Amino acid sequence: MNYKWKVSVSLIIILSAVMLLNKGPTSSGSNLASIQESATRTVNFKIYSFFDVPIDADVWARRYDVYGADYLLSGTYPVVYLWEPEPGWIYYYTSVRVNVEGRNLPEVTIDNPVFLPYNLTGNLEPGVVGGTAQIVNWYLFYINSTRVSQIKFPPGQWDGYVTELTGKIIMDKNATRKILGITEAQFNNFASWWTANKGTVKTKWSTWLTNLGGAGGDFDIRPMYDYSYTDYPAKFTYYLELESATAESVTLKVDMITFGMECLLARMFRATFMPGLEGFYDDLHFNATIRADSADVDLDTAWTWAMYMWSYNDTAFEQPTWMLEPIYGDYPDLAEKYGVTKSPAYPYRDKTYYIVAPGNDYYGQYGLYDYTPNCFNLKEGETLTIDWSNTQRGPVWVFKQNPWTPPQKPNNTLTVVSGWLKFSAETSEPYAQWIQNHPQINYNPTARTITFTGPINFTQLSQQYIPEEWNRINGLLPWGSPLIEFKVVSDHDIMMEAAAPAPPGKSVVCQGSTMNISVTLVNLGRYAETFNVNVYANETQIATASCTLEKDTTKTMTITSNAFNIAKGDYIIRVQAGPVTGESDTLDNIITDGLIKVAIEGDITADGIVDIFDCVKIAIAFGAEPGDPNWDPDADITNSGLIDIFDIVIVALNFGETDP
């Protein structure tokens, strides 16, 4: 036996003895998880039903007749309409629905009811404690021509933006006294009191709302609506009416005709449980239980002008998308017009953004902000789910902006793209790596949902990811966050959702050894697909496997590489799925997984020599499997999932070897 073999055998014996003596249990025993009480306040937000919010064509036709700015292209799925406030200033939009379930909200109480007045008639006696009020089945909608005729609303004043709010308010004794501002004696004889005072109640209720939504009010809607809040307590409907009065409670019916109630409610929602969003709402359903210390709310509403078209000019006009972006309701020009300096829109009145709206005469230029971006920041106990699963019912469409030659204007140079809606991590914000890997985000491409779990400060993330845009407009938020973009893709579309070493964490592969790569693949298209998955180290293909995926399914598979008979050095591992025939969007078919070092056999520290440090590293990990506290994937030279004698042999046989 030569000297090298004697050394190797000796090392094997010594290392094996040390490891067997030192090897203990691979887990540290049971750990008691700390028990943490969940916050009592919870709010779950959901944005859903894309392109599938029915539009009353009668209402929209009236708006176009009066203002000429809003034009309905499709009133049924996929719903699309355009907004053209001035010739050539064109944006294409669609609606979504917003659902909110809020529990134990301390920002709304019976002494601060927000949605209801407090001490309306001014006769509240001191010492009234507690109280519960319920807002029941409030329903808000824009009235159409049929309803205009039924209530005898002046046709000349109907512009398509007149709203009707119906529902009930149920108040126990103390809530009735606090909200209406009445004495105990008046409550005890409420029916008679109502008969004598209902006109006064209606007038004061209307005044309360008008003061809130009018000039200088806490919820001044003029920068959002271009008009002050207006209602009609003595015309068209009963406005407020008594349904029942008992010794325990009072129930009032509501039927209000207004200009601006959708904006006033949006202000109230933003001031309380939904500060991240303030849109124009229609087909709104609202329920609330307001107690002495907190409230529960349930809201489901259509959000009009929620998503708009983008068509990027930095990729040869080849990425038409739909964008979802949190906003404030106010317009910068209206905030300036009315001098409402407290409006979040006011600082944007002289700021610009880059216009890439297809068909817009100013495409490719900077134009003044015509909206106000917002951040949907989440507190502890809050979640935000974006759900576009309904778009699998059928294709949607989007315009692609075609190149043009100045001075020709870019309008009428569009191509219609029809296909399936698909989340685009590459162009959303926060960017793909954060969205796809952050523990507070659950991105499920098969279910077509993204759920953000608070606390998340999207304002800080925006400052982190796009500081140059913040600097460009002097420290203002450049666009809403999270900014979610969707591409319109063909019937055939596969996606690489994840790729990583299996088990994860491996950073060194010895020459002549293999490695496992775990890949997760999604078929977002409409048909079953069979395709190859190829793995590369830089440009050298090191593995390939075939995959068959049914439509709307996800599969995770493990691919074993060829032996790494390549030169020592650093390599980038890249995994590519397909593309399949007919696939138009291939950006998400590839994942670059990171750096792998290829070292000489036995050099698991990748320092250029097989020495005592490699021995120590493998000794510490001896006997470990994935999940054990002493597991070290780099010590698993043979790629067996167990660090054992076979790995020791490789180190021992190559002990003393160095890079040539």
Domains of the chain (ranges; CATH) run 107-293 (no CATH), 491-599 (2.60.40.10)
Where is pLDDT greater, at 203 or 311?
Answer: 203
Strand pairing category for 396-401 and 529-537? unpaired
The one-letter amino acid at 27: S
Q: Is the peptide bond before 503 cis (omega within 30 degrees of 0)?
A: yes
Q: Which residues pair with 415 in a beta bridge?
A: 400
Supply 563's token pair: 């032996």
- pLDDT, one tens digit per residue, over 179-225 is 999 999 999 999 999 999 999 999 999 999 999 999 999 999 999 99
Per-residue model confidence (pLDDT) at position 524? 87
* Residue in this structure with the two tokens 């009668």, named with its chain if needed: 58
Alpha-carbon gap, residue 414 to 411, rounded angstroms: 7
- pLDDT, one tens digit per residue, over 65-102 is 999 999 999 999 999 999 999 898 999 999 999 999 99
pLDDT band at 21 (very low <50, low <70, confident <90, very high): very low
- pLDDT, one tens digit per residue, over 314-352 is 655 567 899 999 999 999 999 999 999 999 999 999 999
* Residue in this structure with the two tokens 């539009």, named with its chain if needed: 55
Q: Which residues pair with 296 in a beta bridge?
A: 289
Strand pairing category for 396-401 and 414-423? antiparallel
List, in order, residues 6 or more apart from 20 with CB less than 8 Å away.
Answer: none
The answer to whether 578 and 589 are in contact (CB under 8 A) is yes
CB atoms closer than 10 angstroms to residue 168:
16
Half-sphere exposure of 638 (CA within 13 A, CB side): 14
Per-residue model confidence (pLDDT) at position 484? 94
List, in order, residues 6 or more apart from 628 with CB less than 8 Å away.
Answer: 26, 27
Burial of 192 (0-12, 13-18, 19+ CB in 10 A): exposed
Least confident of 15-24, 144-153, 556-565: 15-24
Determine phi and psi for 282, rounding to 5 degrees.
-140, 160
Burial of 550 (0-12, 13-18, 19+ CB in 10 A): exposed
Alpha-carbon gap, residue 179 to 219, rounded angstroms: 19
Alpha-carbon gap, residue 429 to 461, rounded angstroms: 9
Per-residue model confidence (pLDDT) at position 426? 79
Q: Please measure the distance between the N-terminal and C-terminal CA atoms of the chain and give it in whole angstroms.
A: 25
Instruction: Report the range out of 164-168, 362-366, 507-511, 627-631 with the highest average pLDDT.
Output: 164-168
* pLDDT greater than 60 at residue 31: no
* pLDDT greater than 50 at residue 374: yes
The answer to whether 447 and 390 are in contact (CB under 8 A) is no
Q: Is the dihedral of CA 355, 356, 362, 366 positive or negative?
A: positive
* pLDDT greater than 50 at residue 20: no
Alpha-carbon gap, residue 397 to 307, rounded angstroms: 13
Mean pLDDT taken over the chain:
90
Percent of the chain with pLDDT over 70: 91
pLDDT band at 638 (very low <50, low <70, confident <90, very high): very high
Alpha-carbon gap, residue 630 to 618, rounded angstroms: 10
Q: Helices 612-621 and 3-22 meet at what angle, rounded to 10?
A: 30
List, in order, residues 6 or more apart from 324 with CB less than 8 Å away.
Answer: 47, 96, 306, 307, 386, 483, 484, 485, 486
Helices (H) and strands (E) in the chain, counts: 14, 30
- pLDDT, one tens digit per residue, over 234-256 is 899 999 999 999 999 999 999 99
Half-sphere exposure of 279 (CA within 13 A, CB side): 26
Residue 210 host element (H or E)? helix 190-213
- pLDDT, one tens digit per residue, over 391-448 is 988 999 999 888 877 667 666 678 888 899 999 887 888 876 677 678 899 989 889 9
- pLDDT, one tens digit per residue, over 256-297 is 999 999 999 999 999 999 999 999 999 999 999 999 999 999
Residue 81 host element (H or E)? strand 80-83
